[in-house]
Amino acid sequence: MDVIFRKIKNLQRIQPDASWLIRQRSFLLSEIYGDQKPIKERKAVLAFPFFDFSKIFRPAFAVAFTIIILVSSFATVGAISASQNSLPGDFLYQVKTVLEKTQLTFTHDSASRTRLSVKFANQRMDEFTQMIQKPEKKEDIQKTVKGFTQQMVAVQQEMNILKEKNSEKAAEVAKLVQAQTPVYEEALIKGDEKLGYVLPGEKQGLKDDINQALEELNKTKELTNELTKEETSPIQETENETGNTEEIIVPGEKTEQTESVSIQFENLQPTTEEVNKVE
Amino acid sequence: MANLEIIDKEKELLSRVAAGDRDAFGQLYDFYAPKIFRFIRLKVGSQALAEDLSSESFLRIWEYLKEQEREIEESFRGLLYRVARNLIVDYYKRKSSQEILIDDDFKEFLEGHLIGDDLRVSEDVEEVHRALVKIKEEYQDVIIWYYVDELSVPEIAKIMDKSQGAVRVLIHRALKTLKDHLEEVE
Rounded Cα distance, B172 and A139, in Å: 48
Distance from CA of B94 to the nearest CA of A (A): 24
Exposed/middle/buried for B107, CB within 10 Å: 0-12, 13-18, 19+?
Answer: middle
Within 8 A by CB and 6+ apart from B53, the residues are B40, B44, B84, B87, B88, B91
A123 and A223 part of one domain: yes
Taking only the tens of pLDDT, chain B with its 186 residues reads: 556 677 778 888 888 887 777 888 888 999 999 999 999 999 998 888 899 999 999 998 888 877 655 455 567 888 899 999 999 998 888 765 544 444 557 878 888 788 876 788 888 899 999 999 999 999 999 999 999 999 999 999 999 999 999 999 999 999 999 999 988 765
A10 and A62 part of one domain: yes
Rounded Cα distance, B84 and A258, in Å: 72
A87 and A62 part of one domain: yes
Total number of domains constituting chain A: 3
Does residue B34 sit at the A interface (CB-CB below 8 Å)?
Answer: yes
Interface probe with A: pick from B22, B46, B115, B178, most Cβ of A within 10 Å: B22
Domain that holds residue A258: 236-271
A137 and A211 part of one domain: yes
Q: Which residues of A touch B (CB under 8 A)?
A: 1, 4-17, 20-21, 24-25, 27-29, 31-33, 38, 40, 76-78, 81, 85, 129-130, 132-134
A118 and A202 part of one domain: yes
Residues from chain B that touch A38, judged by Cβ atoms under 8 A, are 20-23
Final residue before a domain boundary, out of A77, A106, A135: A106
A40 and A138 part of one domain: no
Chain A's closest residue to B123, CA to CA, is: A7
pLDDT of A47: 39
Q: Could you tell me if residue A133 is inside a domain?
A: yes
A219 and A250 part of one domain: no
* Domain ranges (residues) in chain B: 3-185
Q: DSSP H helical segments within A199-254, as ranges?
A: 204-232
pLDDT of B136: 93
Closest CA to A90 of A14, A20, A12: A20
Q: Could you tell me if residue A277 is inside a domain?
A: no
pLDDT of A277: 44
Q: Could you tell me if residue A276 is inside a domain?
A: no
pLDDT of A258: 37
A227 and A115 part of one domain: yes
A100 and A156 part of one domain: no
Q: Could you tell me if residue A279 is inside a domain?
A: no
pLDDT of A240: 43
How distant, in Å, are the alpha carbons of A240, A269, A279 from that of A243?
6, 11, 19
Query: Low-confidence residues of chain A, pLDDT below 50?
Result: 35-57, 76, 234-271, 274-275, 277-279
Rounded Cα distance, A92 and A98, in Å: 10
**Domain B3-185, what fold?**
Butyryl-CoA Dehydrogenase, subunit A; domain 3 (1.20.140)
pLDDT digits (tens, 9 = 90+) for A230-270: 655 544 444 444 444 443 333 333 344 333 333 333 333 44
Distance from CA of B124 to the nearest CA of A (A): 5
CB A9 to CB B23 under 8 A?
no
